[in-house]
Amino acid sequence: MKRTIDEINTRIKKGEAVVLTAREIADSLAAGKEKEVRKVDVVTTGTMGLMSGTYAILSFPITKAGIHRRFTRGTINGVPVSIGPAPNESLGIIDAFVFGTQESDDDPNYGGSFLFRDLVEGKEVTVKATSIDGTEIEAAMTIDEMGTAKLMSARNCFRNYRAMVNPSEKEFTSIFSNRPFRPNYGGITFSGCGHLSPLQNDPDLVSVGVGTGLLFNGNEGFVFSTGTRCSPKYPNLMTVADMKGMDPILMGGFRTAAGPEVLTTYAIPIPVLNDSILKSVMTRDEDIPLSIADVRDRHKIGQTNYGAVWTGHDEIITEDKRPCIKCKICAASNVCPTMAIKQNEAGPTIDRSRCVNCGACVIACEQGSFKGLLGNVKTSIAGQEREMPIVCRNSNRVGAVRTMNDLKNRILDGSFTMREKVADINP
């Protein structure tokens, strides 16, 4: 079987194309409907999780022209930004790069990634800047007053990721968990959405390349280059999209034990151009390898698969107020990486617009006020059988499904058109 994107686009326009989400493909295969799956023209795929490579470029006026030659330092909501590269001499305008992983100077629970969501939600932010002559300026503004507000990625949307454990006898603090890793294989964390992930469905990068259109945090953007640390086994992408129009539910900050991380979401259409892509879109979680690494130096020490971390486990975490004993300090609220838990006299409530279903609250609350089966990973490491509880999921399949559904609807209603790549990604 061989098709082109033009042929598929024509079928979409005529209302003849079969467009399915990666979740629908998996459900159909589980129901024994392989024949129907083989008719698919386009699969919409998605992933949501921690992606450190996300950064913003913002441009905005801060004073009138002709007052200051240039600005050299600045913060937004306490988050240090890099001013430049263009000095905008005497224009009173700042161009600023903001890293999502940059911690705020004032608040360890805030950083660039939290700022990105605040901006997209339309909140007013405080900009402080120092001019070359030492004058300090402060201004309040919203994203609407910014001429440019784009989110970009140095390397995001890896085909899939890894699981992390701590084999040592001491706790280890890392960006790969919301809490320090317990010693002696006491807990495992992982990233990746398995068979839903975009590049898992096009592992040879047949259709995805420079120029491929996608949804980046729910807004239309595109791939502009090969990401850093890209390899044939772990390909990834440099991407860009306008922050104005992003969906705040699909983005934001995530507190890890070693500073803020960046929740980021992608949806990418995979046109089924040949049999090899069809085979990839039919791959089950159980057949997608997931390496287990020692979190201290990230070398591989074991092997499992995405079925072991997702199949039969609860993708959605819920609260149950009844067992709550109203602890003086709520351990669950304390560890929630997105600060999604609100406590009142009745007990805990999860803010669904902020929850990323990581499961940290299920582990933290000993009374069982949070429900969700996270499961254990059983595997042999260094010749010894290990069973490690999943203590934090760094990817959220609920967000991945939300964005792939959205992309499917946009393709079918004609508001999103697939286009040919203009150059290859070179892992």
Q: Interface with ligand SF4 by CB under 6 A: which residues?
A: 317, 324-327, 330-332, 336-338, 340-341, 348, 350, 355-361, 365, 367, 369-370
> Would you say 130 or 367 has its CB closer to ligand SF4?
367
Taking the complex as a whole, how short is the minimal distance between the CB of residue 375 and ligand SF4, in angstroms? 14
Q: In the complex, what is the shortest distance from the CB of residue 350 to ligand SF4, in angstroms, rounded to a whole number?
A: 5
CB of 336 to ligand SF4, least distance (A): 3
Nearer to ligand SF4, 145 or 247 (CB): 247
Please say which residue, 40 or 350, places its beta carbon nearer to ligand SF4.
350
Quick one: 96 or 358, whose CB is closer to ligand SF4? 358
* Residue keyed to tokens 């921690």: 50
AA letter at 100: G
Closest approach of ligand SF4 to the CB of residue 254, in Å: 8
Q: 28 with 36: CB under 8 angstroms?
A: yes
Spatial contact of 229 and 242, defined as CB atoms under 8 Å apart: no
Among 156, 152, 153, residue whose Cα is nearest residue 46: 156
Give the list of residues 6+ apart from residue 328 with CB closer than 8 angstroms, or none. Answer: none
Q: How far is the CB of 362 from ligand SF4 (least distance, A)?
A: 7
Q: Shortest Cβ distance from residue 370 to ligand SF4 (Å)?
A: 6
Neighbour tally for 2: CB within 10 Å: 7
Residue closer to ligand SF4 (CB basis): 208 or 317: 317
| Least distance from ligand SF4 to the Cβ atom of residue 310, Å | 15
d(CA 38, CA 18): 10
Torsion of CA 282, 285, 286, 290, to 10 degrees: 130
Angle in degrees, CA 390, 253, 337, rounded to 5: 40
* DSSP per residue, 374-389: --EEEEEETTEEEEEE
Helix (H, G, I), strand (E, B) or coil at 25: helix
Residues 6+ apart with CB under 8 A from 320: 368, 369, 370, 371
Q: Which is nearer to ligand SF4, 37 or 332 (CB)?
A: 332
What is residue 152's three-state secondary structure?
A: strand
For 72, 92, 99, 119, 136, the CA distances from 87, given in Å and listed in that order, are 9, 10, 19, 23, 17
Residue 42: closest CA among 58, 60, 25, 26: 25
Q: How far apart are CA 84 and CA 15, in angstroms?
A: 48
Q: Among residues 169 and 345, whose Cβ is nearest to ligand SF4?
A: 345
Q: How far is the CB of 235 from ligand SF4 (least distance, A)?
A: 28
Q: List, in order, residues 6 or more apart from 24 with CB less than 8 Å away.
A: none
Closer by beta carbon to ligand SF4, 226 or else 395: 395
Please report how close the Cβ of residue 309 comes to ligand SF4 at its closest, in angstroms.
15
What's the closest the beta carbon of residue 368 comes to ligand SF4, in angstroms?
8
C-beta of 31 vs 346, nearer to ligand SF4: 346
Closest CA to 355 of 216, 254, 231: 254
How far apart are the C-alpha atoms of 9 and 44, rounded to whole Å?
A: 14
To the nearest whole angstrom, how small is the minimum distance from the Cβ of residue 287 to ligand SF4? 28
The nearer residue to ligand SF4, 55 or 110, going by C-beta atoms, is: 110
Taking the least distance from each CB to ligand SF4, the nearer of 98 and 341 is 341
